[in-house]
Each structure stands twice: as structure tokens, then as C-alpha cells.
């Protein structure tokens, strides 16, 4: 395992790995998201209680699930970077952070749009909503701490420590619907026993979670490549790559 992973501590290898994986993630992701959204919006049955308005679930839940997974992924990358001093994992961390912030923002906006017809209010100081808002601030805090440093290696370490400290919020978001009885509904998918949702609604939802995950993966790969190029801009292999690309475009 270690032998297999070790080469990816080198930025060049990681760049080429990203290059190879990118088409898979982007094509598959867009296909799955399209398929799931059309299925969810047009073919899934109407809810007996919430009628058509529930359909925003096909955007809201995937983004909400992803926001937490992206934070965990960022914290894991930070941990790997801090413990094993792997340079690429800090780059991965910073490639993930803005995606996470965006996804959290989307889940808050769609949540507000869903809350208006259902609860009669755009925003409620409910435990789930508040902890989700805090999650966005944690992402933004990590990003701004990273930007505050001149030396990017030092910045990665500092932002990594902060990312790990913020993990305390994750269990709070997860259990917020059980610990506090507020407006937000309880867990529907991730719970012991059967999910409390008919399978005609559940399948497109699971599929759209997968689609969003793949698309964020694709964005992550792009950002990762970008991060590597920016950091290694004076390395010979980047210069060689730039020469090759410009030669290609001249031939065209």
C-alpha cells in the first residue's frame, strides 16, 4: 500500500494521475447528475404531504451530504500532511476547501428555498441550519488562514491544524436533528433499519448523491492540477509541459 501510494507524494506523478482520472469523473459525473435530476424532477412520485415542493431534495440532500464528506476529506488530507509531511496532501486540502464552501452554500440556499413553502420561513435558528452555517465559516476560515501566509508550505501546515480543530463540528451537525427537536426533519437515509422513504424516491436521490460526488471529484482534480502547476511553476517538468502544449497549439 505504502509503496503504491508513495510516488504520489511527487507532484508530477499526481498531476498526471489527475489528468488520467479527470475525463472519467467529469463525463460520468455529468451523465449521472443529469440522469438523476431528470428522474428525480420528472418521474419520481409526488409526495403525499409536501406535493411537488419536496423535489428540491434532489439538490439539497446531495450537497448537504457532500459538505460534510468534503470537510472530512479535507481534514484527513490535513492530517496526512501534518503527520507524514506529504506536500501534495496540503495541496489536496486547499483544492478541496473552496469546493466544500460552495457546496455548503448551495445546500443552505436550497434549504432556504425548501423551508419557505414548508415551514413558512426562509431561515430558522434551528440546530441543523446553524451548524451547517458554521461549517461554511469553518471552510472560509481555513481558506483565509491559508491565504494570510506568504510561505505556502507554512500556510499549509497552519491551515491544516485549523481544519483538524474544526472537525468537532461534524458530529454536532450529524446529531443535531436528534439532540434538538426543532423544525428540521430527522434522518431519513442514514439510519439503522429501513430508510423512511419509498424506493421510487430513494433511488434517484442516491444516484444524484453519486453524481454530485463525481462532479465535485472532477472539480477537485482540476483544482488540484491547477494548485500543482501554480506551486511548481518553475520546475523543469512544468516548463517542459508548457512548451509541449504551446507546440501543440501552434501545429493546430
Distance in Å, CB of 80 to another protein, minimum:
15
Residues 6+ apart with CB under 8 A from 188: 195, 196, 197
Distance in Å, CB of 107 to another protein, minimum:
17
What values do phi and psi take at 27, rounded to 5? -65, -50
What values do phi and psi take at 151, rounded to 5? -80, 115
Q: Helices (DSSP H) in 85-168: which residue ranges?
A: 87-119, 127-148, 152-165
Q: State which of residues 172, 183, 210, 241 lies at the interface with another protein (CB under 8 A).
A: 172
Distance in Å, CB of 93 to another protein, minimum:
14
**Per-residue CA distances from 56 to 94, 201, 210 (Å):** 29, 12, 16
Check residue 82 for interaction with another protein (CB under 8 A).
yes
Check residue 157 for interaction with another protein (CB under 8 A).
yes
Distance in Å, CB of 136 to another protein, minimum:
9
Check residue 140 for interaction with another protein (CB under 8 A).
yes
What the block records as the C-alpha cell of 174 is 450529524
Q: How many residues bind another protein (CB under 8 A)?
A: 24
- Give residues in contact with another protein (CB under 8 A): 82, 127, 130-131, 134, 137-138, 140-141, 144-145, 148-149, 151, 154, 157-158, 161-162, 165-166, 168-169, 172
Amino acid at each position: 500500500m505504502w509503496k503504491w501510494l508513495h510516488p504520489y507524494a511527487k507532484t508530477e506523478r499526481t498531476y498526471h494521475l489527475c489528468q488520467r482520472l479527470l475525463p472519467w469523473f467529469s463525463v460520468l459525473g455529468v451523465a449521472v447528475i443529469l440522469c438523476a435530476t431528470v428522474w428525480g424532477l420528472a418521474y419520481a412520485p409526488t409526495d403525499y404531504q409536501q406535493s411537488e415542493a419536496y423535489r428540491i431534495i434532489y439538490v439539497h440532500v446531495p450537497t448537504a451530504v457532500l459538505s460534510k464528506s468534503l470537510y472530512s476529506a479535507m481534514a484527513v488530507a490535513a492530517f496526512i500532511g501534518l503527520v507524514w509531511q506529504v506536500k501534495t496532501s496540503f495541496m489536496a486540502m486547499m483544492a478541496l476547501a473552496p469546493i466544500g464552501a460552495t457546496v455548503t452554500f448551495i445546500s443552505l440556499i436550497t434549504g432556504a428555498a425548501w423551508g419557505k413553502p414548508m415551514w413558512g420561513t426562509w431561515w430558522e435558528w434551528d440546530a441543523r441550519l446553524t451548524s451547517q452555517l458554521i461549517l461554511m465559516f469553518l471552510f472560509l476560515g481555513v481558506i483565509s488562514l491559508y491565504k494570510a501566509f506568504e510561505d505556502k508550505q507554512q500556510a499549509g501546515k497552519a491551515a491544516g491544524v485549523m481544519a483538524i480543530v474544526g472537525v468537532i463540528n461534524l458530529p454536532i451537525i450529524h446529531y443535531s436533528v436528534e439532540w434538538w427537536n426543532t423544525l428540521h426533519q430527522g434522518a431519513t437515509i442514514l439510519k439503522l433499519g429501513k430508510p423512511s422513504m419509498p424506493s421510487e424516491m430513494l433511488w434517484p436521490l442516491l444516484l444524484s448523491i453519486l453524481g454530485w460526488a463525481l462532479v465535485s471529484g472532477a472539480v477537485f482534480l482540476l483544482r488540484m492540477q491547477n494548485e500543482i502547476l501554480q506551486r511548481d511553476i518553475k520546475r523543469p517538468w512544468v516548463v517542459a509541459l508548457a512548451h509541449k502544449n504551446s507546440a501543440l497549439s501552434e501545429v493546430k
